[in-house]
Amino acid sequence: MHDEGPSHEDIERFSDQETGFCPKCGNEIWDDVSKCPSCGIWLQGNTSHRDPISSEFRKKMIGFIIAITFAAFILSAIRYF
């Protein structure tokens, strides 16, 4: 009997729960690996389940909102005095 491995449909069906992203290079990796096969960093369970592109966008948006809020506070303080 020849083992063909998992089918493409099986990989797609189960990949959402079992894969994550490397925190250094952003490559998609399996959750249970201890070392990223792309960049070689030791993971120690630090896989991210959020796409690195959306994470970076989220960080920039939070910084932008904080900067706008701070600028509005400074402008209102200048108008008050």
Token pair recorded at residue 25: 């290079």
Give the three-state DSSP class for 59.
helix
| Rounded distance between C-alpha atoms, residue 28 and residue 31, angstroms | 9
Token pair recorded at residue 75: 């402008």
Q: For residue 38, which amino acid is it?
A: S
7-58 residue pLDDT tens: 777 666 665 557 788 877 878 887 777 888 888 888 876 666 666 667 678 8
Surface-to-core class of residue 29, CB atoms within 10 Å of its CB (0-12 exposed, 13-18 middle, 19+ buried): buried
Q: Are 45 and 58 in contact (CB under 8 A)?
A: no
63-79 residue pLDDT tens: 999 999 999 999 999 98
Look at the pTM and tell me if it is higher than 0.85.
no
